[in-house]
Chains A and B, each alone.
Chain A
Amino acid sequence: MTPEQALRWLERQGCEGEIYELKQRSYGIEIKRGEVELVEAGEQHGFAIRVLLAHRMGFAYGNELTQELLDKALSVARVSPQDEHLAFAGEQSYPSVKGIYDSRLASLSFDELEDKLEAMLAPAQSLGVEVTQASVAWEVSEERMLNSLGVEVSEEGTEIYAHLSAVAKRGDDVATGMHFDASRSFDLNFEAVGETACRLAKESLGAQKLETGDYAVVLRPIAMAELVENVLIPAFSADNVQRGRSRLAGMLGEQVFGEELSVVDDATLEAGLETSCFDGEGTACRSKVLVEKGVLRGYLYDIYTARKAGVESTGNAFRSGFATLPRIDASNFIIQGNSSLDEDEALVVHGLIGAHTANPVTGDFSVETRNAFYGGSPVRKAILAGNVYDLLSSVSGFGRDVTQISGVVTASVGFSNVRVVG
């Protein structure tokens, strides 16, 4: 049946309905030891149904929109608890967002990538390191949502991703380097991905131990993004705030970070990796200030938590595919600051190992570093230990290298006094 027919049937059963449809084409190339080993092309199509029956929510997903799927969603609703805060989005207007669809990517052929792959692999030879693996993947997706309250919206998007891992060897000494980048259009800089990974591997040879102590630390965008995604973003979720699971609960208007730091969540950012005009519930996306000069200004809401708090949804309920319910998450989480960065006498860290093991509730972390340099010389092993809230209160500077790493937009950020275990 069509989504419109399904909605009409649900309405005849006395409930409100919502239908989400996802169509995706995915392509990929895997390179092992410098040669293309696997070429991939896939298609996925699926539907997710939510129903509201007397304030009870039901959800079901499947590859096809069938009567069975509707029945399933209704049977889930019947055993679900009643909650007056559950609701669907009403009819509304959506912002126009730019730079999320590139027709070149939508019709990209494998041949057109050949030059790009060569450019990405070339730096390995000139730098004398080996490419262990590399990959390029791109995707064309189309999302559509409609519900009983008049929401009817759709969007097409494209994205391309490239990654390269390299290893440098000198005698018994082994060093690794990894870099990746993603873009909504075909203008991705493949050469820079290869160059950065290979250079990191080469420059990390001859690493020495570092004495345990307190150091000035600079986190490069990848390291910063890993920490922010795992430890900081969950604290802004209204679900965590309302359930007493966030350090930021009850602190609106208070100074929570250093004055140098501001945070904006902007789902409408031009060409942003998480840019979209509507969220997973059909709410219009927008930009909102979360932290202004260190002062907490807002949280991220979906419809349910917003109604509970008596505010509007911020349009932050996102879906990851058609088989899961929408969940609160950041869109493009932008970290801003303008003081300048001093990298002399600092431990400069490119990436982290184990950032997902940090404590998202207290903000405590203890993570190993990947490609760390002190005074320009590589460091063999260094654990960074501390608390992300203390860390963000001791910001000493921002670099000019602003870039987007999955959902996080940030430059290199400098911190004074971080515990480093060598």
Chain B
Amino acid sequence: MLREVRELLELPARFVDVTLHDVESTSILMKDGSAKEIATGRSSGISVRVLDRGWGFAYASSVHELKDAAERALRGAKLAKERVELAEVDVTQDKAEAIAKLHPSRATLEEKLDYLSRAHEVTKSYESVVSTSFAYNDASVKITYLSSEGAEVEMRYPRVAFYAQVFAKDGAKIQFASERVGATSGLEALANVESVAKDACEKALRLLHARAPPSGEFTVVIDPKLTGVFIHEALGHAVEADHVVQGESILAGKLGQSIASELVTIYDDPTLKQGFGSYFYDAEGVRAQKKALVENGVLRSYLHSRETAAKLGHEPTGNARAQGYNFPPMPRMSNTYLAKGDASFEELIEDVEFGVYLLGSRGGEVDTARGVFQFSAEEGFLIENGEITTPVRDVALSGETLEILRRVDAVSKHWGVHIGYCGKNGQLVAVGDGGPAIRTVATVGGTQ
């Protein structure tokens, strides 16, 4: 197979690369204690990129279609008109495999089911919990990347995730809460599913007694999970260099400038051990590297593919990623997080007269060109005279990226990274989002 691929790399074009994907996966959905949906399977495919003036991209789910795909890519490349250059990178030959103590391909279906049964068992002691869904997903991913420059990299990643969603009821009131855990590793990352399920149950119960939040501009303290999503939405997307090049990022032309409070330092790190968004080499065979996006408030770097790096005359950062063989790579985040500070949690809230403490994330979205974002917390509490008081629910925050980053005035020393999937132009990739608890000012959207 690889020999045929190597022949293809000789196509008459400025640059050719070929990626082979092979993914074996198992997913189990347990509904209310019964393992309703178990799916296993394998999907593989091949993608070919050809650079003439612009890109031609083709893929096929059968490796036998390789030659056909290459011809389609070549024809496509001749039609594209925008002149594309690629930044120079080290050409690598390497094989790398992420460590798994208990590799998903070596575990039986029964063993996988057991994680869900253990989680469900925990929920039985909560009377108000009326419905539960627990999901187990694993994937054994093998990616082989070859380029006409001579790169040849083979990577293997086991990835596991566990999701809990529980519904609690009190009279006519119904609320739900979710928790998740996962890693680029084996099943050992799921050792504590019981405590994850327990956290979800307790959160759902708290939400039953929470009231709608106030609305308006307030001091907000956000927990590590939500800080991660905030950094991802508000800053991360705006430093993706394709947005910068296309003139749709509020951070275009701001490298070296102060864009945030001095307390703000932000990294993108695909080398994070077991990180959900970790990888060895990106989708263009460029070695993964940790880089500071923001350092003490100063914008330091964008997230680049080889193409965007060449366009802006920057060093490549190894951030080209693709969801699978049927998608072209583009600049993406990996594990993105805010560095910890030195405040204790008490110091974050003690001098807040009135504010909102927000925890957990239900997702978010951003308009990178205007720098306006929205994200939603799973739960919250009012802060009154330095004390955590009334629980609130369905709290959404919105704000302008630069304003909210400038108004960060306290950063705690408690830190964590959480798993997520990031969607962009129809492609989903696994990411890690994280940080400490921080304090800033934002608009809270409530019905009160």
Contacts and interface: CB of A to CB of B under 8 A. Distances in A.
Q: Do A and B bind each other?
A: yes
A353 B42 contact: no
Contacts of A69: 41
Interface string A129-166: 01011010000000000000000000000000000010
A307 interface: no
B246 A361 contact: no
B445 A366 contact: yes
B407 to A, nearest CB: 16
A342 interface: no
Contact of A76 (B38, B365, B444): B38
A39 B363 contact: no
A115 interface: no
A178 to B, nearest CB: 9
Contacts of B57: 38-42
Contact of B43 (A62, A239, A356): A62
Nearest to B60: A43
A38 B49 CA distance: 10
Given A42-B60, A83-B34, A353-B373, A212 B216 contact: yes
A359 B445 contact: no
A293 interface: no
Interface in A393-422: 419, 421
Contacts, number: 250
A142 B243 CA distance: 35
B125 interface: no
A308 B375 CA distance: 38
Contacts of A64: 62
Contact of A40 (B31, B58, B82, B109): B58
Contacts of A79: 35, 38, 109-110, 113
Contacts of B366: 353
Given A43-B60, A43-B65, A383-B215, A244 B364 contact: no
Given A75-B109, A79-B38, A353-B372, A33 B82 contact: yes
Sorting the interface of chain B by its residue count into under 10, 10 to 19, 20 to 34 or 35 or more gives 35 or more
Given A60-B39, A63-B43, A381-B372, A176 B248 contact: yes
Sorting the interface of chain A by its residue count into under 10, 10 to 19, 20 to 34 or 35 or more gives 35 or more
Contacts of B372: 353, 368, 381
A58 interface: yes
B149 to A, nearest CB: 20
A359 B213 CA distance: 14
Main secondary structure of the interface of B (DSSP, over half): strand
A167 B247 contact: yes
B148 interface: no
B265 interface: no
Interface in A49-70: 57-64, 69
B39 A59 contact: yes
Main secondary structure of the interface of A (DSSP, over half): strand
B376 A354 contact: yes
A132 B369 contact: yes
A36 B54 contact: yes
A32 B245 contact: yes
Interface in A360-375: 361-362, 364-368, 370
A370 to B, nearest CB: 7
Interface string B347-379: 000000000000000111111011011111000
A39 B84 CA distance: 13
Instruction: Output the residue of A36, A39, A175, A239 with the most chain B CB within 10 A.
Output: A39
B80 A176 contact: no
A81 B34 contact: yes
Given A76-B109, A354-B375, A366 B446 contact: yes
A44 interface: yes
Contacts of B81: 35-37
A63 B43 CA distance: 6
Given A44-B326, A212-B215, A244-B167, A381 B443 contact: yes
Contact of B248 (A39, A167, A381): A167
Contacts of A35: 54, 81-82
Q: Shortest 7 CB-CB distances between A and B: which pairs? A: A39-B76, A357-B376, A383-B445, A61-B41, A366-B396, A354-B374, A35-B82
19 contacts: A37-B80, A38-B328, A41-B73, A42-B47, A46-B43, A62-B42, A63-B44, A63-B45, A80-B35, A132-B247, A176-B370, A245-B131, A323-B41, A324-B39, A364-B212, A364-B394, A383-B374, A385-B447, A419-B215
